[in-house]
């Protein structure tokens, strides 16, 4: 049951949306490619849900344009945009059967009953809910209800799928199962999809690309691994995953790399996160180093190291998490396949990081 037509791109041009004095979207420009599973992330109030609601047609922007392919849909009402929606709250009718819930959108569109029956059956089969067609919604688990909501979004053969934190009401195990299922369905149906979430793991594991929003602006876009490994700002580095920040000043810089002397007097070499920033000696900087990027050793490495001791230690089997105390800072350090077995240590140890794992950011 493929969607009608071919995959479409979604283009947002200089989108502005205000609520009174508050600027929710501050000139957003973004392009989502055909068939892409694109995530919008950011802290509360950053504008991600407002952007999704503008794309869906629930909000009309103050200025700017939204294009589905080459069609300007900026001022079209939601029902004329032919988008499938999945909400945090499922929005299913409890008094109707599974099949009736899925059929609702088709009945509203005056589709013939024979075609409705066929399309509902195929939609339910695509999300592995075929045997549950005659059950009431109250008889289903949370994960099953979410599958019904997905089938209802797909059955209208939408031009794109819009998802607003669809898995936040599920427990951890079901979230893992359903996020994989959503990606499978989107790829199988060739859907362009935009997915709002606050769950970083969700975004890192299934997105093709993502945008991090901050204060109504786009802080960074890119593939998950690029955003994680090469954050351009402290906000992005802090929001996606865990990291250690070390303040310092640029000692030297060349060809996308820089040497930074930290406020504690340590010297570390790294890569510049923002390609538009050309740091100069003396500029203030912040180093971002992921906990798993550190390597612990008993001997002093050649360069890019800090000396300290292991304070608090948590042993989790495949990984140990340490609070590594240096002269001026406490670092979070993860040791995979831990040799130290999660033990604290009074003796001096060293943590080192490869220059490629040290990201130099503006302070």
CATH number at residue 335: 2.40.50.140
From 229, 263, 283, the end of a domain falls on 229
DSSP codes of every residue in 1-14: -PPSS----EEEEE
Q: CA 193 to CA 235: how far, in whole Å?
A: 25
Among candidates 59, 51, 63, which has minimal Cα distance to 10? 51
pLDDT for 1 beyond 60: no
pLDDT for 196 beyond 50: yes
DSSP codes of every residue in 211-248: EEEETTEEEEEE-HHHHHHS-SSHHHHHHSS--EEEEE
Encoded tokens for 59: 């909000």
Say whether both 119 and 147 belong to one domain: yes
Q: CA 40 to CA 47: how far, in whole Å?
A: 9
Structural domain tally of the chain?
A: 2
Among candidates 268, 244, 267, which has minimal Cα distance to 323? 244
Least confident of 13-22, 90-99, 115-124, 127-136: 90-99
Cβ partners under 8 Å of residue 27, min gap 6: 14, 15, 16, 64, 217
Residue 77's alpha-carbon distances to 55, 56, 66, 193, 332, in angstroms, are 10, 8, 13, 19, 49
The predicted pLDDT at position 343 comes to: 67
SS3 319: strand
Say whether both 255 and 169 belong to one domain: no
Band (pLDDT 50/70/90 cuts) for residue 220 is: very high
Say whether both 42 and 134 belong to one domain: yes
Average pLDDT value for residue range 160-188: 88
Element (H, E) at 56: helix 48-56
Q: CA 283 to CA 172: how far, in whole Å?
A: 44
From 204, 229, 254, the end of a domain falls on 229
pLDDT-above-70 percentage for the chain: 97
Say whether both 72 and 157 belong to one domain: yes
Q: Within 10 Å of residue 271's Cβ, how many Cβ atoms?
A: 17
Say whether both 218 and 270 belong to one domain: no
Query: Does some domain include residue 304?
Result: yes
Band (pLDDT 50/70/90 cuts) for residue 29 is: very high
Say whether both 259 and 209 belong to one domain: no
pLDDT for 2 beyond 50: no
From 183, 208, 229, the end of a domain falls on 229
Say whether both 218 and 267 belong to one domain: no
Element (H, E) at 181: helix 172-189
Q: Within 10 Å of residue 215's Cβ, how many Cβ atoms?
A: 14
pLDDT for 115 beyond 50: yes
pLDDT digits (tens, 9 = 90+) for 260-318: 999 999 999 999 999 999 999 999 999 999 999 999 988 888 889 999 999 888 989 89
pLDDT for 65 beyond 80: yes
Strand order from edge to edge, sheet including 22-32 = 22-32, 10-19, 63-68, 71-72
Domain that holds residue 314: 242-362
Say whether both 214 and 293 belong to one domain: no
Average pLDDT value for residue range 187-199: 92
- With 0-12 / 13-18 / 19 or more C-beta atoms within 10 angstroms meaning exposed / middle / buried, residue 162 is buried
Say whether both 328 and 214 belong to one domain: no
CATH of residue 98's domain is: 3.40.50.300
The model's pTM is 0.89
Instruction: State the chain's mean pLDDT as an integer.
Output: 92
Say whether both 246 and 182 belong to one domain: no
Band (pLDDT 50/70/90 cuts) for residue 86 is: confident
Say whether both 194 and 335 belong to one domain: no
Query: Does some domain include residue 3?
Result: no
């Amino acid at each position: 049951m493929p969607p009608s037509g071919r995959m479409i791109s979604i283009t947002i041009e200089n989108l502005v949306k205000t609520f009174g004095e508050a600027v929710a979207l501050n000139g957003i420009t973004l392009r989502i490619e055909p068939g892409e599973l694109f995530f919008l992330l950011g802290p509360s109030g950053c504008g991600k849900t407002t952007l999704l609601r503008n794309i869906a047609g629930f909000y009309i922007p103050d200025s700017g344009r939204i294009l589905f392919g080459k069609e300007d849909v900026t001022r079209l009402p939601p029902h004329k945009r032919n988008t499938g929606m999945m909400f945090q709250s499922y929005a299913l009718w409890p008094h109707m059967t599974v099949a009736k819930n899925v059929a609702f959108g088709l009945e509203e569109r005056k589709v013939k009953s024979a075609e409705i029956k066929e399309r509902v059956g195929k939609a339910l089969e695509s999300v592995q809910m075929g045997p549950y067609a005659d059950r009431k919604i109250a008889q289903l688990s949370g994960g099953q209800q979410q599958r019904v909501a997905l089938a209802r979004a797909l059955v209208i053969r939408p031009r794109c799928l819009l998802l607003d934190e669809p898995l936040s009401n599920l427990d951890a195990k079901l979230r893992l199962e359903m996020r994989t299922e959503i990606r499978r369905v989107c790829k199988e149906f060739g859907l362009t999809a935009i997915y709002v979430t606050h769950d970083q793991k969700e975004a890192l594991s299934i997105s093709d690309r993502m945008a991090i929003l901050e204060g109504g602006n786009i802080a960074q876009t890119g593939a998950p691994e690029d955003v994680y490994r090469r954050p351009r700002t402290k906000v992005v580095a802090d929001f996606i995953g865990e990291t250690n920040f070390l303040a310092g000043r640029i000692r030297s810089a060349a060809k996308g790399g820089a040497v930074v002397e930290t406020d504690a007097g340590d010297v570390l070499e790294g890569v510049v996160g923002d390609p538009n920033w050309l740091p100069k000696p003396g500029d203030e900087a912040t180093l971002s180093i992921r906990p798993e990027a550190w390597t612990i050793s008993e001997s002093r490495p050649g360069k890019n190291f800090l000396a300290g001791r292991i304070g608090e230690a948590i042993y989790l089997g495949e990984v140990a998490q340490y609070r590594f105390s240096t002269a001026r800072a406490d670092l979070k350090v993860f040791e995979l396949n831990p040799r130290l077995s999660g033990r604290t240590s009074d003796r001096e140890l060293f943590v080192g990081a490869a220059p490629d794992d040290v990201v130099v950011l503006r302070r």
